[in-house]
Amino acid sequence: VPTIKDVADRAGVHAATASRALNSATRGMVNTRTVTRVLEAAKALGYAPNSAARSLRTRTSSVAGVIIPDLRNPVFPPIVRGIEDGLREAGYMALLGNTDGDVDRERELFDAMRGRQTDGFILATSRRDDELPATVPTVLVNRRTDTGAVPSVTADNDAGVRMLVRLLVELGHSRIGHVAGPRQLSTGWERYRAFVDAVGGAEAVTFAAAFTEEAGFEAALRLLDAHEGLTAIVAGNDLIALGCYAALASRGLRVPDDVSVTGFNDIPFADRQRPGLTTIRIPHYDIGLESARLLLARIANPTAPAKRIVLPVDLVTRGSTGPAKN
């Protein structure tokens, strides 16, 4: 494997000069003719810089750490894909890690990645009360913290829930319940707050332990037991909504004839459910893309104020919502 020394020798210059010629930022200080000589030599030898040596010297790596709860949750693949494309625009690559929501594992991963000279982090794992170390550029994606001290890219949870409630009200529903996501997560909390605000009251609400179908099923049963006569349920996200489907079926209730159900996220295959799920489409890919760009901006200028980017959402009406009974 050729080193910069080999390139320099072949071009008849010193290694330092070759380095300057090879690096576009410093190329200006080098004679045009020597630049071409160096570039030719590099090409002829198939030279590729040793990034370990470069990282050691410059303390940068062009690698970002991406930490998510679980790639198998269908929200994340398109987000991660967007992140990767955004990073690539600047020659960055993504080091990926899953935590399964385990705080210790997150800490471990974070440290391990930082040890690998990661230039920054994109986290999809944060809880509302997280205190994140301000030592390394970090961006939150999909979720955020209460303080807003860390830059974030999220979907407009508030507007989304309002759209859903408005739709249900227009369909004649007045007894609307909410199976919320976890309180500790901004996604769960913001949607809950928006729901309470939109319907003007917080009676008919239960919280699911996680954004999963199982937790949604369990919380939906609790909701149904505590509140008779609900004609609609706003679920914290699509997976919880599917849990609601199952809970309603187990109680002999039909969707949407007896109870309408809505989700949030519009995950792949939400349209294929039985019935198709009325939900809020969030721009998964763009959320990822923007978070990558925000991180890159952050790396370039770490002291800039923490931006919060909120992307607009769309209502997608499908078969799971219908006119209120009676």
Partner DNA sequence: TTGTACGCGTTATCAA
Partner DNA sequence: TTGATAACGCGTACAA
**Which lies closer to a second copy via its Cβ, residue 98 or residue 142?**
98
DSSP 265: B
**Which lies closer to a second copy via its Cβ, residue 51 or residue 317?**
51
- The option from DNA, a second copy, none interacting with 30 (CB < 5 to 8 A, set by class) reads DNA
Residue 80 interacts with a second copy (CB under 8 A)?
Answer: yes
DSSP 191-258: HHHHHHHHHT--SSEEE-SSSSHHHHHHHHHHHHHH-TT--EEEESSHHHHHHHHHHHHHTT--TTTT
Q: At what angle do helices 32-45 and 15-22 cross, to 10 degrees?
A: 90
Residue 97 interacts with a second copy (CB under 8 A)?
Answer: yes
Residue 36 interacts with DNA (CB under 7 A)?
Answer: no
- The option from a second copy, DNA, none interacting with 5 (CB < 5 to 8 A, set by class) reads DNA
Nearest to 130 by CA among 67, 64, 212: 67
Residue 48 interacts with a second copy (CB under 8 A)?
Answer: yes
Residue 22 interacts with DNA (CB under 7 A)?
Answer: yes
**Which lies closer to a second copy via its Cβ, residue 61 or residue 186?**
61
Q: 273: helix, coil or strand?
A: coil
Rounded-to-integer distance, Cα 19 and Cα 41, Å: 12
Kindly state the smallest distance separating residue 67's Cβ from DNA, in Å: 23
Residue 94 interacts with a second copy (CB under 8 A)?
Answer: yes
Residue 166 interacts with a second copy (CB under 8 A)?
Answer: no
DSSP 283: -
Kindly state the smallest distance separating residue 183's Cβ from a second copy, in Å: 27
Residue 44 interacts with DNA (CB under 7 A)?
Answer: no
Rounded-to-integer distance, Cα 139 and Cα 220, Å: 33
Asked if residue 278 lies in contact with residue 247, where contact means CB atoms within 8 angstroms, the answer is: no
How many angstroms separate the Cα of 83 from the Cα of each of 110, 133, 280, 323?
Answer: 18, 22, 21, 40
Q: Which stretch binds DNA (CB under 7 A): 25-33, 161-169, 203-211, 266-274?
A: 25-33
**Which lies closer to a second copy via its Cβ, residue 113 or residue 259?**
113
- The option from a second copy, DNA, none interacting with 97 (CB < 5 to 8 A, set by class) reads a second copy
Strand partners, 97: 67
Four-CA torsion 160, 187, 149, 95, nearest 10 degrees = -110
Chain length of the chain: 326
Residue 56 interacts with DNA (CB under 7 A)?
Answer: yes
DSSP3 helix / strand / coil % (the chain, rounded to 5): 45, 15, 40
**Which lies closer to a second copy via its Cβ, residue 105 or residue 127?**
105
Residue 63 interacts with a second copy (CB under 8 A)?
Answer: yes
Which positions from 255 to 294 touch a second copy by CB under 8 A, shown as an x/- string? -------------xx--xxx--------------------
List 56, 103, 134, 249, residue binding a second copy (CB under 8 A): 56
- Residues in binding contact with a second copy, number by CB under 8 A: 41
DSSP 74: T
Rounded-to-integer distance, Cα 98 and Cα 68, Å: 5
Q: Where do contacts with a second copy occur on this chain (CB under 8 A)?
A: 48-53, 55-56, 61-63, 70-72, 74, 76-78, 80-81, 84-85, 91, 93-98, 111-117, 268-269, 272-274
Q: Where do contacts with DNA occur on this chain (CB under 7 A)?
A: 1, 3-5, 12-17, 19-20, 22-23, 25-26, 29-31, 33-34, 47, 49-50, 53-54, 56-58
